[in-house]
């Protein structure tokens, strides 16, 4: 059971969760939650006791501090923090940690209990996967809902995925069984540039969260980092004819004008976001 401290009175809290590991190609999804922690000044309110869920020979604790009296050991775990966006009626409960090594059902039971205790009825999970997607195009984001009612209300599809899953899928399923509205966004990271970070994918995930919650998320230097990342991959492709040819083959599979990002609805959403950031 997670012990909380300093929670305070939350306003219609929404949970946003991401986990490092199998669900987190190029660290894109965990970086999105970390960005939310930083820009909204989130404060930690609790953590899962790691002894029951993590193999410390796989995810080793770290020690820091040069003074013997101040040296500390940081244990791998999953932490919960709360943030209060200034221009929103909802607070955020941010969940970020490692995919557990064992006892996944007990792990998700603890998270579900925490969601109920904090008074939230909406959970957004973020993930990232490696895909045959060119770095030159907008990062594809798939969005699904955990149940038909939530899908209809938010204009999403109910999940139809079949196959191996990670803790994000298990947690989303636990939310549905607990009758919590759940949404999952996944970014498709180009597999030929899989090393972290991938700020372009992180930015794409944050924009979907921003649209879903109708909430302005300060992006800081992230858009510039995304452009720099794309330029760096352009340079990589320019110096390797095989990579360049592969990128061209990916681009040819779907014309840019046929992409969802080129639709009227997508352009309208981007314009609304632009106006919101200008405060108009």
What is the chain's mean pLDDT, rounded?
90
- Return the ∠ at Cα 79 (arms to 75 and 83), rounded to 5°: 145
Q: Which DSSP string corresponds to 126-162? A: EEEEEES--TTSPPPEEEEESSHHHHHHHT-EEP---
Q: Can you give the pLDDT at residue 268?
A: 57
Which of the 8 DSSP states describes residue 52? Answer: G
Q: Can you give the pLDDT at residue 70?
A: 79
- Return the ∠ at Cα 81 (arms to 10 and 15), rounded to 5°: 65
Q: Can you give the pLDDT at residue 271?
A: 53
Residue 2, SS3?
coil
Q: Can you give the pLDDT at residue 58?
A: 94
Q: Is pLDDT at 201 greater than 90 in this prediction?
A: yes
- Structure tokens given for 143: 């969005």
> What tens digit of pLDDT does each residue of 56-80 get?
999 999 998 877 677 889 999 999 9
- Structure tokens given for 215: 């909430």
Q: Is 179 left (phi over 0), alpha (psi -120 to 50) or beta?
A: left
Q: Is pLDDT at 93 greater than 90 in this prediction?
A: yes
- Asked if residues 205 and 141 have their Cβ atoms less than 8 Å apart, the reply is yes
Q: Is pLDDT at 269 greater than 70 in this prediction?
A: no
Q: Is pLDDT at 30 greater than 70 in this prediction?
A: yes
Q: Please, what's the b/e burial string for 170-196 (b: 16 or more CB within 10 A of its CB; e: otherwise)?
A: bbbebbbebebbbbbbbbbbbebbeeb
> What tens digit of pLDDT does each residue of 234-254 get?
999 889 899 899 999 999 887
Residue 73 neighbours by CB distance under 10 Å: 9
> What tens digit of pLDDT does each residue of 127-164 get?
999 999 999 999 999 999 998 999 999 999 988 888 99
- Asked if residues 111 and 171 have their Cβ atoms less than 8 Å apart, the reply is yes
Alpha-carbon gap, residue 270 to 280, rounded angstroms = 14
CATH number of 12-275: 3.40.50.10900
- The distance in angstroms from the start CA to the end CA of the chain is 45
Query: Mean pLDDT throughout 35-42?
Result: 97
Q: Can you give the pLDDT at residue 280?
A: 46
> What tens digit of pLDDT does each residue of 228-239 get?
999 999 999 889
Q: Can you give the pLDDT at residue 76?
A: 94
Q: Is pLDDT at 261 greater than 80 in this prediction?
A: no
Closest CA to 266 of 181, 208, 201: 208
Question: Can you list the alpha helix ranges (DSSP code H) found in the chain?
Answer: 28-39, 104-117, 148-154, 167-177, 199-213, 222-238, 241-252, 264-278
Q: Which DSSP string corresponds to 160-197? A: ---S---HHHHHHHHHHHTT-EEEEEEEEEEGGG-SSP
């Amino acid at each position: 059971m997670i012990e909380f401290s300093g929670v305070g009175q939350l306003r219609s809290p929404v949970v946003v969760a991401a986990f490092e590991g199998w669900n987190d190609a190029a660290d894109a999804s965990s970086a999105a939650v970390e960005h939310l922690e930083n820009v909204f000044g989130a404060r930690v309110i609790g953590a899962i006791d790691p002894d029951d869920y993590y193999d410390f020979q796989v995810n080793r604790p770290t020690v820091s501090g040069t003074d013997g009296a101040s040296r500390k050991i940081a244990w791998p775990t999953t932490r919960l923090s709360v943030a209060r966006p200034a221009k929103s009626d909802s607070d955020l409960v941010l969940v970020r940690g490692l995919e557990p090594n064992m006892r996944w059902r007990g792990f998700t039971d603890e998270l579900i209990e925490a969601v109920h205790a904090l008074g939230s009825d909406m959970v957004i999970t973020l993930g990232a996967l490696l895909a045959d997607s060119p770095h030159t195009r907008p990062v594809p984001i798939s969005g699904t809902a955990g149940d038909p009612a939530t899908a209809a209300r938010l204009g999403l599809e109910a999940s139809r995925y079949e196959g191996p899953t990670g803790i994000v899928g298990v947690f989303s399923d636990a939310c549905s069984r607990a009758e919590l509205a759940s949404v999952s966004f996944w970014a498709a990271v180009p597999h030929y540039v899989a090393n972290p970070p991938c700020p372009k994918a992180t930015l794409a995930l944050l924009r979907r969260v921003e649209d879903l919650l109708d909430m302005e998320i300060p992006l800081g230097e992230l858009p510039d980092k995304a452009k720099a990342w794309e330029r760096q991959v352009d340079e990589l492709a320019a110096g390797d004819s095989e990579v360049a040819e592969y990128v061209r083959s990916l681009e040819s599979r779907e014309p840019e004008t046929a992409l969802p990002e080129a639709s009227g609805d997508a352009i309208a959403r981007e314009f609304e976001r632009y106006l919101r950031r200008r405060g108009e």
